[in-house]
Amino acid sequence: MAVIDFIPREQCTMSGKGHCCSCRHEWVMVAPPGVDWFECPACGLFKARWMHPAVPRKDDLIWICGCGCDAFIVTGKHPPTIFCINCGKEQEF
């Protein structure tokens, strides 16, 4: 029987490509799990995100705004309106 030593969550880190939704700077980021927003080292704004935060299924479509941002706000009105969090443009289907 093998014994597996697990690393405590607070000691784990993730790494991968990141990009700033504002100035489009790209770099390799390292952060603990669960961190979604980062300060961009180029412009100093907290608009940086993981470039590939999750791997979608093969058949899934990914919605990306024309400005390159993939994060949106959905209003509670009916029908809902979807806005890009970076440029504020209302998304059209």
Total domains in the fold of the chain? 2
Tokens of 2: 């093998």
The whole-angstrom separation of Cα 64 and Cα 21 is 11
The whole-angstrom separation of Cα 13 and Cα 63 is 27
pLDDT at position 3 over 60: no
The whole-angstrom separation of Cα 19 and Cα 59 is 25
- Domain membership of residue 7 (yes or no) is no
- Domain membership of residue 2 (yes or no) is no
What's the pLDDT tens digit per position in 5-62?
Answer: 666 656 667 788 888 988 989 999 888 777 778 899 999 998 888 887 655 566 767 7
Residue 9 has φ and ψ, to the nearest 5°, of -55, -40
- Domain membership of residue 73 (yes or no) is yes
Burial class (CB in 10 A: 0-12, 13-18, 19+), 92: exposed
Q: Do residues 48 and 62 share a domain?
A: no
- Domain membership of residue 21 (yes or no) is yes
pLDDT at position 91 over 70: yes
State the residue range of the domain holding 68: 56-93
Q: What angle do CA 26, 27, 31 make, to 5 degrees?
A: 125
Q: Do residues 60 and 88 share a domain?
A: yes
Residues forming beta bridges with residue 48, ordered by sequence position:
20, 38
The whole-angstrom separation of Cα 35 and Cα 6 is 21
